[in-house]
Amino acid sequence: MRGCFVALVIEIFGLRRVQLQTRRWTAQAIVAGVLVAAICSLLPQTVAADELSGFVQMTCAPEIGYFSIRRFQVANLPKNGRYLTEGLIPGQSAVEALQKKYGVYDSRSLKNHPYECSIPAFKLTPGWGAGEMTGFSIRVSGHLDVNSNATTYQSIADNAEVFLNGKSVALIGLNPHGFMLGVSSLAISQENPGLNLSKCSVAPHSIDGSNLECSNSFQSPSQLR
């Protein structure tokens, strides 16, 4: 596109020289300028692709027997900005601030320091219920291949894996390819007895990963052992 612009400028200046020499516009120069402009308008324009950064946001609320995790993307984070303080990667203080204030993590921080959430069991108050609310533990680990030689996001590990009582229950992709498929969110809440799992995943027919299919499932105490 830049080459076309230069060609158009040259054509205009050539037209001006003709004007200075002959004191009149020539039909040939006008036609040539119009043709150059038309050709340039038909050529594809290069648009810089967005740089997408994937995160998960987690909630651990023992008081209500609840855990949740969801993923989201942020486009074009400024280099040497408030988050990417070290140029291309975040500084430790920025990482800790996101975690403490908002419960937001990326795969790098989860790889270095997995997230843990413990929801204890408790017996219901007599007269208000019978039995015991089922306790559970959550561990979220990050996987990030920082030295990958792969040329596509599909081949690069960049995700968060959720373990319920030591068993893997969700793998949440965090690079641009990962957002096109797989689990997008997961919520786990106490039942009496057992746990309720609510999971949303990208629909098979989704083109851009925005169409989700959600389902609920119940796990009894025996299934959680």
Give the SS3 label for residue 170. Answer: strand
Supply the pLDDT for residue 171.
97
What is the distance of C-alpha 81 from the center of its chain? 19
Supply the pLDDT for residue 183.
96
Supply the pLDDT for residue 155.
80
**Domain range holding 103?**
52-219
Does one domain contain both 128 and 65? yes
Does one domain contain both 32 and 124? no
Supply the pLDDT for residue 48.
58
- Residue type at 51? E
Residue 141: inside a domain: yes
Report the number of distinct structural domains present in the chain: 2
Does one domain contain both 148 and 209? yes
Residue 74: inside a domain: yes
How far is residue 29's CA from residue 15's CA, in Å, rounded to a whole number?
6
Supply the pLDDT for residue 10.
43
Q: What are phi and psi of 95, to 5 degrees?
A: -65, -45
Supply the pLDDT for residue 9.
42
pLDDT per position in the chain (225 positions), as tens? 545 444 444 444 454 444 444 445 455 545 555 554 555 455 555 455 788 899 999 999 999 999 999 999 999 998 878 888 887 788 889 999 999 999 999 999 999 999 999 999 988 888 887 888 999 999 999 999 877 777 777 788 999 999 999 999 999 999 988 899 899 999 999 988 899 999 999 999 898 888 999 999 999 988 887
Q: Where are the beta strands (DSSP E) in 109-157?
A: 115-119, 122-123, 132-133, 136-144
Supply the pLDDT for residue 50.
82
Does one domain contain both 11 and 81? no
Does one domain contain both 33 and 94? no
Closest CA to 172 of 60, 50, 68: 68
Give the SS3 label for residue 139. Answer: strand
Q: Which residues contact 195 (CB under 8 A, 6 or more apart)?
A: 134, 136, 164, 188, 189, 218, 219, 224
Note the pTM of the prediction, 2 decimals: 0.75
